[in-house]
Every structure is written in C-alpha cells, then in structure tokens.
Amino acid sequence: MENERMIYIMQESDITEAVDIWVEQYGRYCRSSEAFPPNWLKETRGIASFLHKKVSDGTTIVAKQDGRLLGYLAYDEFPFNGEKSVFCPTIAHAVVDEYKEEVYLSLYQHASQKWVDRNIFNHMWTVFYNDDRLMRILFDLGFGSYLIDAFARGDDRMIVDPGYTVNRANLQDVEIVYGLAEESREYYRSAPLFLRRDCYSRDDIKGMIQDSNVFIARIAGEPIGFINVSVSQSDNIIDLSTSNSGLIDGMGAYIKPESRNKGIGKALLKCVFDYCRENGIDGIHVDFETANLFANRFWRRYFDPMLLSLRRTINKNINDR
Ligand SMILES: CC(C)(COP(=O)(O)OP(=O)(O)OC[C@H]1O[C@@H](n2cnc3c(N)ncnc32)[C@H](O)[C@@H]1OP(=O)(O)O)[C@@H](O)C(=O)NCCC(=O)NCCS
C-alpha cells in the first residue's frame, strides 16, 4: 500500500532533489522567449545557497511520499508597506508536475495556517507567468495579480518620431530630473494604482546620473520625461535577472500626462536599447505593477512577461475571539 503524502521541515539532504524540481519547472515555463535568461537552467548555486539558508532558518517545508520529494515551499518574512508579510519568490517553491495541484494546495495550507496564527495577513507569491495551472490555484485561493517582471533583448529596428530630442542627462540636469521624479510620485499615489514610492533626494539623482544612465526627452527644449537604466553587477535570485543586464528598475520611466501616448516612451526606450546594444548588454529587465494602466500596456509591447507576483490579503479580524 502507498504511504500517505506528508509535510516535513526541509533538511539539507532534500536540497539536491528540490533544485532538480525547480530547474525542470524553469525549463517548462521559461523556454518560450529568447529574452528570458537561460543561465538559470545551468547556474544552480544561487538557488542552492538560498535553500541552505532557508534550511538553517527552518522556513522551508517539503511534501514527501514514499521517501520521494514532491515539492517544497519556502518564504521570507518582511514588512511590506508597514504590514507583516510573507513572500515566496519563484526560487522558493516548486512541485513535480504530476501532483501539482494537490501538493501546492497542501503546502500552502500548511504554511499559511502558521502565518495567520502569527498575524501575518499579507501573503505574496511569485510564479512563472506561463504557469496557468498554478495561477488558477492561487486565483481560487484569493490571490490577485500585483507585479510583472518582464524581459527584452532589445530591438534594433525601432523607428521613432523625430519631433522629440532625447539626451543623456548630465549633472546640470539634476533639478529637471528631481522635478519630474517628484511629479511621478503623485502619479503612483493616485487611482487605480495607489502606490507609495520613496522620495529621491537630489544626491540620489546625482548618483543615478553619474553611475547609471538617465535619458531626458524634450519637446522644443522643454523637458517632458525621462528613463533610467542601470547595469546589474550580479545575478538576482528574486527577479531572475542576471549579471550584466540592463535594469529599468530604479526611477523607471516617467512622461508628463499631456505628452503620453505620442511615442515619447518609445523614443526613450530606443535610447535604452541602443545603449545596451552598444555596451554588450543583451538582456533588459523591467518590473511594473499590473494596476499601473500606462505601464501595463506600454512595457508589454516590447518586453515578455516572465514572472507574475500575486498577493492575498486575509481578513484582519480572523484571530479575534
Ligand atoms: C509608461 C510611459 C513611460 C509610456 O510612455 P508613452 O510616451 O506614453 O508611450 P508611447 O506613446 O511610446 O506608447 C504608448 C501608446 O501610444 C501609441 N503611440 C505611439 N506613438 C504614437 C503617436 N505618434 N501618436 C499616437 N499614438 C502613439 C503607442 O502605439 C502606444 O499605444 P498602445 O499601447 O495602444 O500600443 C508613460 O505613459 C508614463 O510615463 N506613464 C506614467 C508613469 C509610468 O507608468 N511609468 C512606468 C513605470 S514602470
């Protein structure tokens, strides 16, 4: 007779099997686009060391049957916008395909009871964007989409309207970029996005102009928007970008409301693609909230979504007696 499937705390001896399941999962869901970094199929040191750390924290559970590892779930705990939260990035979970639904459900059931018992009501989980089966499970559990991580290789055939000038910012442009960045915070705060973004100081902006690349778009000499791209120095096990990728992550991109939908974002993006191509950077990463209506439309034209982060908020009175 088959033994029952059981949940245990992960041990060091489970790590090799867990990494194999994760790599198989990455291969299954991330072969569809040339823009997705292939390195993660071969370079498993990052995920293995993440799991070693999680084993020593005791924050990873596994599902096993007849001694075989069927899947695992790990999590990080952190305050998200001031609220106690747990976060399961893509490297923090994987399940064999044949038992996918039931094993994911039992892992979440086991882990989430412990989180809620400790008053952690905000659950965040990142999945591969093409993993429809897991997305359906999470949707039924009450998760909704929050953030997309997307990748592009750059397009060298973009044609842009010559009515705008785009230049790389220098230190004399600090005040212009600061003004636009402050204005962008109001955009992020408003409906339907409601996102609180940190304030950049003039020194932060000076640093970005010097150490990364800020491009400013102008119409008739008037600054109307910017884009910021930096170059990564290491692999990132959370968003799965790799070393020497372009990152449109810091201040991102912002165009004044009256100048949107006129091809200026495209002109700024062309500068990023040109810069990356000229500097031997062939992968570019961006992330954006799905509730950001402009971003959600714009980036999808040029980037392929690889990861989707979902969020579930548990009723706050659940532990009241
Ligand atoms: C996201 C953002 C940077 C995009 O820049 P943009 O200048 O509005 O983008 P573009 O004009 O190049 O492209 C947007 C649309 O305009 C269309 N467009 C492009 N050139 C056009 C032109 N000459 N005339 C009319 N429409 C045009 C594009 O086809 C596109 O439409 P589609 O999405 O239906 O295909 C900008 O809208 C913005 O700053 N939004 C607020 C801040 C923000 O969300 N930043 C991103 C954070 S991650």
Is there a single domain that holds both residue 19 and residue 101? yes
Domain containing 185 equals: 165-282
Do the beta carbons of residue 261 and residue 293 sit within 8 Å?
A: no
* CB neighbour list of residue 166: distance below 8 Å, 6 or more residues apart: 215, 216, 217, 218, 267, 268, 270, 271
Helices (H) and strands (E) in the chain, counts: 8, 15
Is there a single domain that holds both residue 34 and residue 134? yes
Is there a single domain that holds both residue 133 and residue 14? yes
Q: Is pLDDT of 2 > 70?
A: no
Which residue has the least CA distance to atom 6 on ligand 1? 265
Pocket flag, ligand 1, residue 263 (CB < 6 Å) = yes
CA of 167 to the centre of ligand 1 (A): 19
pLDDT number for residue 154? 87
Spatial CA neighbour of 154 closest among 307, 234, 34: 34
**Total domains in the fold of the chain:** 2
Note whether residue 93 is domain-resident: yes
Note whether residue 287 is domain-resident: no
pLDDT in tens, 217-256: 999 999 999 999 999 999 999 999 999 999 998 899 999 9
Tokens of 27: 């291969």
Is there a single domain that holds both residue 202 and residue 101? no
3-state secondary structure of 305: strand
Is there a single domain that holds both residue 118 and residue 199? no
pLDDT band at 162 (very low <50, low <70, confident <90, very high): confident
Is there a single domain that holds both residue 73 and residue 126? yes
pTM, whole model, 2 decimals? 0.96
Note whether residue 184 is domain-resident: yes
**Which CATH number is 65's domain given?**
3.40.630.30
Sort 305 into a burial class: Cβ within 10 Å, 0-12 / 13-18 / 19+: buried
State the number of CA atoms in the 13 A half-sphere of 37 facing the CB.
Answer: 24
CA of 297 to the centre of ligand 1 (A): 8
Is there a single domain that holds both residue 136 and residue 33? yes
Question: Which atom of ligand 1 lies nearest, measured to the CA of 266?
Answer: 12
Beta strand spans in the chain (E): 6-9, 60-65, 68-74, 76-80, 83-88, 93-95, 122-128, 144-152, 165-168, 213-219, 222-231, 246-247, 253-255, 284-289, 304-313
CA of 160 to the centre of ligand 1 (A): 12
Which stretch of DSSP H or E encloses residue 32?
none
Is there a single domain that holds both residue 135 and residue 26? yes
Is there a single domain that holds both residue 41 and residue 130? yes
State the number of CA atoms in the 13 A half-sphere of 179 facing the CB.
Answer: 10
Note whether residue 231 is domain-resident: yes
pLDDT number for residue 249? 87
CA of 181 to the centre of ligand 1 (A): 17
Spatial CA neighbour of 17 closest among 75, 94, 81, 85: 94
Note whether residue 302 is domain-resident: no
pLDDT in tens, 118-131: 999 999 999 999 99
What is the chain's mean pLDDT, rounded?
Answer: 96
pLDDT number for residue 221? 95
Mutate to test the pocket of ligand 1, among 256, 262, 272 (most ligand atoms within 8 A of CB): 262
pLDDT in tens, 139-152: 999 999 999 999 99
pLDDT number for residue 282? 81
Note whether residue 181 is domain-resident: yes
Residue range 21-31: average pLDDT?
Answer: 97
Spell 56-68 as b/e; 16+ CB within 10 A means b: eeebbbbbbeeee
Which residue has the least CA distance to atom 23 on ligand 1? 262
Note whether residue 291 is domain-resident: no
Is there a single domain that holds both residue 142 and residue 77? yes
pLDDT in tens, 284-307: 999 999 999 999 999 999 999 999
Question: Which atom of ligand 1 lies nearest, measured to the CA of 184?
Answer: 42
Which residue has the least CA distance to atom 22 on ligand 1? 262
Mutate to test the pocket of ligand 1, among 226, 228, 261 (most ligand atoms within 8 A of CB): 261
CA of 264 to the centre of ligand 1 (A): 7
- CA 143 vs CA 85, 136, 146, 289, 313: distances in Å: 14, 9, 9, 15, 8
pLDDT number for residue 3? 73
Is there a single domain that holds both residue 16 and residue 63? yes
Note whether residue 154 is domain-resident: no
DSSP character string of 105-119: HHHHHHHHHHHHHTT
Is there a single domain that holds both residue 21 and residue 121? yes
Pocket flag, ligand 1, residue 254 (CB < 6 Å) = yes
pLDDT in tens, 172-226: 999 999 999 999 999 999 999 999 999 999 999 999 999 999 999 999 999 999 9
